[in-house]
Chain A
């Protein structure tokens, strides 16, 4: 093994699980999955000696990895022992003497050493015991840490400094109520704990109307005790045109002891003060959280081992730590999935594809036109951010969605069984959920789960719902089919929103299915939309981490223009030149040499004057913007654009680090499929009960198989419906194809 080449490690930290893909210095690819809590779980099997136990685990690691870890009985706080030795070949765990009488056969236990999940994953995947120094690594990270803090409101409330007269801006919002039909209106609570109005004012061209009153500002700071001077947001009207007052205020705040100062004109120099304020405040609210987390990962890996440390953004590009803003992290996990799906689509000969990521509580969908689906603003929870991201549409339907009958009506979601108590089949008293329904219909195999599955509980839960049906002619399987059909309709509608609504016909797209629950629904959802080809990547359960490996250092430079096309066209070469220079400089600043930088995307947003909505065009120095706009307008609107002037809204340029093809991630062989699956399975569908084959990936490698059947893959089972066929393509993806039936086509 060549010691000088660092490992390449990509870690995607989700809510429950952390996925990891790595390339060793020898070029070998490895994967692992750990709990996001950074703990290892196992079950005591039998006693070997007074201080050692034979255990059941699936850590796949080296001897002594967990030495020094605390041992706890699962679900309790008390440390009962510390690990002294681990024999990986025989799964024998040795511990020091403490309260070992609590460890009996069948006890579930947990090991932890307060390691962040990405660090634990790095130790596991490099076979490095936790007490030893890690080898040199290039670390890439996507994390939901800030997203969770935002959604659970566990960030650090900032102090907002805003132009006088607008102190209540965030509270008023856009004056609408989120839900139409209730007198008990619940508006989202603003994030700042205190608002300070600042005497200053610019006009709509960025000219100073009222100078910044520094003395008054310093005066108002006197009321803020030192311990509250942690994180601040600075938002002044029209600062996107002139940032002087904001910058000066930020200087004063830093000199007065604020640790973090988020400045609106730096974070998103775009018109619309409300959204700019929301972006800035969210960043200020999360900055302390994400910084503490990244510091912790940095320290635990150790500077000596960290060859580089880059973090994923919501727009699918990597940034180095020092250049990273909290607001850019909110969709970093899903963005990894989109990068993975984009590569999968290309590899599977469907560059235009719909990514379909069905998880436990929700489903994320995106439309990919062979290139990344960039947008310049996005919404996370109740925060609207003027910040680049991928266009991802989320619908509250997933494997955990609760299925119930109310007043003779069927309901699926939006509530989810969550990880506790989980679906009824987990046996913890959970409700009937989509996962249960798939199990009962035979489209999922109990052998797939890492915990024991209680099918009787699932059936009881289903029968309880059936009993609520006033019409007694309805049978159990009819009801279950109904739940599946409703869930599929919901997800298909989400895809319609990103395709039909925008003037794109889903029939022309392939579908990339991944995520925990997608494999049971891919055919059904595709069918609703007339999609005839579904690709399931070999690493479908780790696609986000795979995307992280495929992503690269990127910078998006945005410039707002807001001028007529005729004016702009004269300056186009100069503006493009300046922006390209900025885009290059940004990456050079991260240490990339000039010859390794390319401009990957140039987007221009154009609209009819007087309109709010715009059309995004890809363009270069010579594109005839008028012509391209009118072509695209006609396609979307179905008629010719009125003869009005065109306005350029903004330009976005993406610079990226060139990546050599040899380094790209490539699946070399079919993943292992566990041998525990049965050969045949009883399933229920519209056509009644039938026994269908359960193929392994190897079975279909050279011969496609038609549905109805199940295909057992790596940690997933795929339900192939009637009239669909499953095969493996050259990129080792599973391809589901709808048979074209005679007659209409």
Chain B
């Protein structure tokens, strides 16, 4: 127990002011951004880091951004030292990125010649090039297939923004962006958000003193570390392990060992690099682990803060050359889109299984894209949640690493040549048990113009596991109807359909918990 000089009441008030700072950055970003994805779906996060790139406060709206800004800051400042007045940009998975559409900006904040820390934000740009709209390219084999790759560079150098270079990068890729104007507007919003945060952070330093501010930042990390250590201590000597397989047979292996007040997450034994797009990145692995830590400790009051302090008592053994960490030269990086949306979900399933927190949820985002030369639409579709020891799993809901809204049927039909025939709960698709798994959904489209469709989904072959005697959930299926006959199609595929053809998807149910006989 350390006897810090910091008054806990001051720490509390400063933590709240730091949180206000990043929330304010988020407000600025949301207000000044142009795209629906950022403005309405709030697919972004803002963070404040100390001078050592330790994440102090972070306001993520979706779990897949959890803690990732810390890793990004570390990797980018390593190769691109930043001076006051600089802002660096990148979306590269080799530098703490998750997938290409997530673009991150980071800027150092100095005051009176001393570095206070960094401010960063990450926002999902709905269109950023790639062979298909929305970066969903089920048959991609390299990162460049998926869109514009932005190697870390200084978007702003010494206060001077280089929009010319930015536009060039966005338009000169193998598959350039289809929405340059919107990208630039959203990047301006990201920059405005950083500038706003900088102003506030400098005011805080003026008020509290630079050195004192740094002491407070360290105190916030120390407190988070101390609280997580206490939790590990209560699990001292325990070990956990689990394995889950992707539909294509790729295996995620994890073993977790808790010793004294530390835990090591070891992913040895995980399958090698995926030739397609099912590759995760270290940032995604870290986000998945932080997410699971957060749900494991949700009963804690107040909740554990999601900062780098939590990573002091957690170590990773994440071997390279695996589909969780391709660890390739940045120029030869494999495709990662499926890693971000699908492997991330299955990774969480594996961790939940290891800690026996509950039965498996649908474990996929059921990515579905349809479009033609005149339009493109990407949606992710809900399914069943796994049951836990506390009760039945919820039906028709997004679980774990995503939580994005589905477009209203009337808006969808107004904007696109499509008719929704059915959107209903897939009854009895959840696994039986003392507590039942949640049911998936059935969603059926009729197309009013010829379209190309793409699906990318998991749990089509592997069943969502039950827990402690509960039965597994039902796997997902998808069908097309060309001549009044339904044909089942693969869970990872693209094809063209004609006017009047239909597509139907049945999403997986969650697993049950406990034996039904209990």
Bound-state CA distance A174–B406 (Å) is: 5
For A482, the chain B residues whose CB sits under 8 A away are: 9, 12-13
- Closest chain B residue to A637, Cβ basis: B32
Centre residue among B357, B410, B423, B441 by max chain A CB count within 10 A? B410
- Of the stretches A40-48, A73-81, A181-189, A214-222, the one at the interface is A181-189
- Of the stretches B150-158, B164-172, B324-332, B386-394, the one at the interface is B386-394
Known A-B contacts A168-B423, A500-B24; the reply to A183 vs B357 at CB < 8 A is yes
| Mask: chain B, 192-205; 1 = CB below 8 Å from A; 0 = not | 10000000000000
Known A-B contacts A237-B410, A411-B301, A612-B39; the reply to A165 vs B30 at CB < 8 A is no
| Mask: chain B, 265-303; 1 = CB below 8 Å from A; 0 = not | 000000000000000000000000001001100101111
| Mask: chain A, 693-734; 1 = CB below 8 Å from B; 0 = not | 000000000000000000000000000000000000000000
Bound-state CA distance A670–B391 (Å) is: 59
For B409, the chain A residues whose CB sits under 8 A away are: 166, 237, 273-274
B24 touches A496 (CB 8 A): yes
Known A-B contacts A165-B421, A187-B397, A500-B27; the reply to A409 vs B8 at CB < 8 A is yes
A203 touches which of B24, B185, B419 (Cβ 8 Å): B419
A409 touches B295 (CB 8 A): no
Known A-B contacts A165-B420, A409-B12, A612-B36; the reply to A185 vs B385 at CB < 8 A is yes
Q: Is A169 an interface residue (CB 8 A)?
A: yes
Q: Is B34 an interface residue (CB 8 A)?
A: yes
Bound-state CA distance A473–B40 (Å) is: 46
| Mask: chain B, 34-55; 1 = CB below 8 Å from A; 0 = not | 1010011000000000000000
Q: Is A478 an interface residue (CB 8 A)?
A: yes
A501 touches B30 (CB 8 A): yes
For B63, the chain A residues whose CB sits under 8 A away are: 180-181
A188 CB, nearest partner CB in chain B, Å: 11
B350 CB, nearest partner CB in chain A, Å: 14
| Mask: chain A, 460-481; 1 = CB below 8 Å from B; 0 = not | 0000000001110110001101
In chain B between 360 and 393, which residues have their CB closer than 8 angstroms to a CB of chain A?
Answer: 361, 381-382, 385-386, 388, 390-391, 393
- Closest chain A residue to B417, Cβ basis: A204
Q: Is A172 an interface residue (CB 8 A)?
A: yes
Centre residue among B291, B408, B425, B444 by max chain A CB count within 10 A? B408
A235 CB, nearest partner CB in chain B, Å: 11
In chain B between 408 and 439, which residues have their CB closer than 8 angstroms to a CB of chain A?
Answer: 408-411, 413-414, 419-425, 438
A64 CB, nearest partner CB in chain B, Å: 55
Q: Is B340 an interface residue (CB 8 A)?
A: no
A167 touches B424 (CB 8 A): yes
Q: Is B452 an interface residue (CB 8 A)?
A: no
Bound-state CA distance A611–B422 (Å) is: 27
- Closest chain B residue to A644, Cβ basis: B181
B12 touches A172 (CB 8 A): no
For B395, the chain A residues whose CB sits under 8 A away are: 171
A149 CB, nearest partner CB in chain B, Å: 25
Chain B interface: which size bin? 35 or more
Q: Is A176 an interface residue (CB 8 A)?
A: yes
B403 touches A184 (CB 8 A): no
B414 touches A204 (CB 8 A): yes
Known A-B contacts A271-B414, A473-B7, A642-B181; the reply to A185 vs B394 at CB < 8 A is yes
Q: Is B404 an interface residue (CB 8 A)?
A: yes
A469 touches B8 (CB 8 A): yes
Bound-state CA distance A169–B189 (Å) is: 35
- Of the stretches A25-33, A49-57, A280-288, A485-493, the one at the interface is A485-493
- Closest chain A residue to B306, Cβ basis: A181
- Closest chain A residue to B416, Cβ basis: A204
Known A-B contacts A482-B9, A486-B13; the reply to A175 vs B397 at CB < 8 A is yes
For B420, the chain A residues whose CB sits under 8 A away are: 165
A613 touches B413 (CB 8 A): no
Q: Is B482 an interface residue (CB 8 A)?
A: no
Bound-state CA distance A240–B34 (Å) is: 28
A474 touches B8 (CB 8 A): yes
Bound-state CA distance A160–B382 (Å) is: 23
Q: Is A502 an interface residue (CB 8 A)?
A: yes
B294 touches A181 (CB 8 A): yes
- Closest chain A residue to B196, Cβ basis: A500
- Closest chain B residue to A239, Cβ basis: B410
Bound-state CA distance A562–B411 (Å) is: 11
For A196, the chain B residues whose CB sits under 8 A away are: none
Q: Is A688 an interface residue (CB 8 A)?
A: no
Bound-state CA distance A166–B17 (Å) is: 45
Q: Is A622 an interface residue (CB 8 A)?
A: no
B425 touches A171 (CB 8 A): yes
For B302, the chain A residues whose CB sits under 8 A away are: 406-407, 409, 411
A612 touches B419 (CB 8 A): no
Q: B-side binding surface: helix, strand, loop or mixed?
A: mixed
| Mask: chain B, 429-460; 1 = CB below 8 Å from A; 0 = not | 00000000010010010000000000000000
Bound-state CA distance A474–B8 (Å) is: 8
Q: Is A645 an interface residue (CB 8 A)?
A: no
Q: Is A272 an interface residue (CB 8 A)?
A: yes
A187 touches B405 (CB 8 A): no
Bound-state CA distance A226–B97 (Å) is: 61
- Closest chain B residue to A562, Cβ basis: B414
A165 touches which of B13, B303, B396, B422 (Cβ 8 Å): B422
B399 touches which of A177, A501, A612 (Cβ 8 Å): A177
Known A-B contacts A175-B405, A406-B302, A407-B302; the reply to A474 vs B9 at CB < 8 A is yes
A489 touches which of B16, B386, B414 (Cβ 8 Å): B16
Q: Is B260 an interface residue (CB 8 A)?
A: no
A441 CB, nearest partner CB in chain B, Å: 14
A406 touches B408 (CB 8 A): no
Known A-B contacts A172-B396, A172-B423; the reply to A182 vs B298 at CB < 8 A is yes
A272 touches which of B411, B422, B425 (Cβ 8 Å): B411
A652 CB, nearest partner CB in chain B, Å: 20
Bound-state CA distance A700–B188 (Å) is: 51
For A486, the chain B residues whose CB sits under 8 A away are: 12-13, 16
For A608, the chain B residues whose CB sits under 8 A away are: 34
B357 CB, nearest partner CB in chain A, Å: 6
Bound-state CA distance A408–B381 (Å) is: 42
Bound-state CA distance A181–B296 (Å) is: 9
For B425, the chain A residues whose CB sits under 8 A away are: 168, 171-172
Bound-state CA distance A168–B438 (Å) is: 14
| Mask: chain A, 587-603; 1 = CB below 8 Å from B; 0 = not | 00000000000000000
A176 touches which of B8, B298, B397 (Cβ 8 Å): B397
B403 touches A639 (CB 8 A): no
Known A-B contacts A175-B398, A183-B385; the reply to A613 vs B9 at CB < 8 A is no
For B512, the chain A residues whose CB sits under 8 A away are: none
B424 touches A271 (CB 8 A): no
Q: Is B84 an interface residue (CB 8 A)?
A: no
Bound-state CA distance A248–B284 (Å) is: 54
Q: Is A638 an interface residue (CB 8 A)?
A: yes
B406 touches A175 (CB 8 A): yes
Bound-state CA distance A182–B12 (Å) is: 25
Bound-state CA distance A574–B441 (Å) is: 45
Residue ranges of A at the interface with B (Cβ–Cβ < 8 Å): 165-169, 171-177, 180-187, 203-204, 209, 237-238, 240, 271-275, 406-411, 469-471, 473-474, 478-479, 481-482, 485-486, 489, 493, 496-497, 500-503, 562, 608, 611-613, 636-639, 642
**29 chain-A/chain-B pairs, Cβ below 8 angstroms:** A168-B441, A171-B425, A175-B382, A175-B397, A180-B63, A181-B294, A181-B295, A183-B295, A183-B388, A184-B388, A184-B391, A185-B397, A237-B410, A273-B410, A406-B301, A408-B8, A471-B7, A479-B9, A481-B9, A482-B13, A497-B27, A501-B31, A503-B31, A562-B414, A612-B36, A612-B40, A637-B31, A637-B34, A639-B185
The 3 A-B residue pairs whose C-beta atoms are closest, nearest first, are: A175-B382, A185-B394, A482-B9
**New A-B contacts (16) at CB < 8 Å, excluding given A176-B405, A237-B413:** A168-B424, A168-B441, A172-B423, A180-B403, A181-B298, A183-B358, A204-B410, A273-B409, A408-B8, A478-B7, A486-B13, A486-B16, A493-B23, A608-B34, A613-B40, A639-B188
